[in-house]
Amino acid sequence: MVPCLLFAGVFVVCAASISTILRHRAGVPEMSVLSPKLAAYQSQPDAYDTLFVGTSRTFYHIVPEVIESSAAEYGCPDLRVFNFGVFGLTGAEQDWLVDQILDAGQGHLRAIVLEDPLPEARATREATSTRARFFNSTGNAGRRIASIMSYPESIAKKVYRIGVLGYGMAYDLSGVGRAATVAFPAAVPDVPETLNLSQDGFEALGSVPTDDILARHKDFEDNPAKFADALARYGAPSNEKVEPRAVYIASRIKALEARGINAALYISPDPLELDRTPRVGEAVRALMPETTVIDLNRPDEYPDLFERGIWFDFSHVGEEGARRLSRHAGQELCEGLKQGRRGVTDAVR
């Protein structure tokens, strides 16, 4: 028994060590949307001073040119906005992306607007993709656990997510597939993904139709009652505690402010999250009263953003809706910048 355990221990240590070396050698993998956006930004960080960093509800909802024109109309001229929305962006991924932005944008950044990111993986298949393996490194464990523990859901669900994280980390450390990739590289190297960045990172949902996108749109069109039911969630009582999530977000805002950068929270219109994200925004305001919270997930304050005709699916608007909400976001961002709340003397040039 002892020799078997000793052999197993040595095997695990060797496999983990080799996998770590190969991981370092492989570098940052190519990741859909994230990689081309990051490469574009890193190639010309002086072209932008205001970045929105978030999920698909940033990618499909924030129109930089509209943010700029709206902000200028309300007294903040010359903003140069980049949309850093990425599909499925989780908390640990957002932290890493912000680190890359800060490294590249030193001396050029005026404001970073963070969206409340998505929760960490809940399915084992989500923990073994190339992108997941990169973020499943042991160095990211603390960030991912912090994200999991802050999310407003039951302890059982949090424990399950931690279990998925453990599975993903073990899969990565095992080195499955890494040595084969190095020993037998593809005959034709993968071509890096290209992305139309003519609108500074924004893409109108439906402009690049796929089977999945079209199916989501059809589901939305076929189920009007579901949209009405989602709107009814607003203001409904909930037992989920959002204060830990507010603390999590506030810590990231404070870290940006400490570097002399204006930081804000963006909460996108999302009928399926009407029972959660507005409460997160209120909790952030309670913790940090001077922080700019661009909370657009409020049907009472922004009824024009909840007209069914501008929605593409149950969580995303189409281009008309994106332009509407970007006008609101530009105004609110400008109001925050004009206050000079974060000690940036040239917040508005």
Which tens digits make up the pLDDT trace of 318-330?
Answer: 999 999 999 999 9
Which tokens go with 202? Answer: 């924004």
User: Is pLDDT of 126 > 80?
Assistant: yes
DSSP label of 90: B
Global pTM value: 0.88
> CATH code at 295?
3.40.50.1110
In whole angstroms, give the CA distance from residue 256 to residue 260: 7
Q: Is residue 59 part of a domain?
A: yes
pLDDT for res 140: 85
Q: Is residue 88 part of a domain?
A: yes
| 300 located within any domain | yes
- DSSP 8-class letter at 154: -
Domain assignment of residue 334, given as a range: 34-120+200-339
List the one residue out of 115, 120, 114 whose CA is nearest residue 146: 120
pLDDT digits (tens, 9 = 90+) for 264-311: 999 999 999 999 999 999 999 999 999 999 999 999 999 999 999 999
Asked if residue 228 is part of any domain, the answer here is yes
DSSP conformation letters of 240-277: ---HHHHHHHHHHHHHHHTTT-EEEEEE---GGGTTTH
- Residue-wise pLDDT for 132-156, tens only, equals 888 888 888 999 999 999 999 999 9
Tell me what pLDDT residue 1 has: 59
pLDDT-based confidence at residue 23 (cuts at 50, 70, 90): low
Residue 126 lies in a domain: no
Look at residue 266 and tell me if it is in a domain: yes
3 within domain boundaries: no
Structural domains in the chain (count): 1
Over residues 71-86, the mean pLDDT reads: 97
Domain annotation covers residue 166: no
- Predicted local confidence at residue 27, as pLDDT: 64
